[in-house]
Amino acid sequence: MKTPQVLYRLAFLAGIGILACVLVFATEISPVRISKQRTPVEATPSVISKKKRVSAAKRQWIVYKNGFNKQANANARHRRILPDDYRQ
């Protein structure tokens, strides 16, 4: 009469083991883990600073090319004063 109880215990422990394996693999392949791994690579300070530098240069060129001609202020054009909208 003890053999069914032993089989039930083995089946119960095997089910717990399978659930534990599924839980471990699900957490390793979860999108939260993947996003946490990707963010440091994308958000490194060198990449951010390069992006900011490029956008600032483009912004200054656009202001120099378009803004000063539209302002009709010769002094501002000579002094290279940026409008308040472009100061950060």
pLDDT tens digits along 4-55: 888 899 999 999 989 888 877 766 665 555 555 555 555 555 555 555 555 7
C-alpha 8/C-alpha 16 separation (Å) is: 12
In this structure, the dihedral spanned by the alpha carbons of residues 53, 57, 63 and 65, taken in order and rounded to 10 degrees, is: -170
- The pLDDT of residue 72: 47
pLDDT over threshold 50, residue 87: yes
Give mean pLDDT, residues 76-88: 56
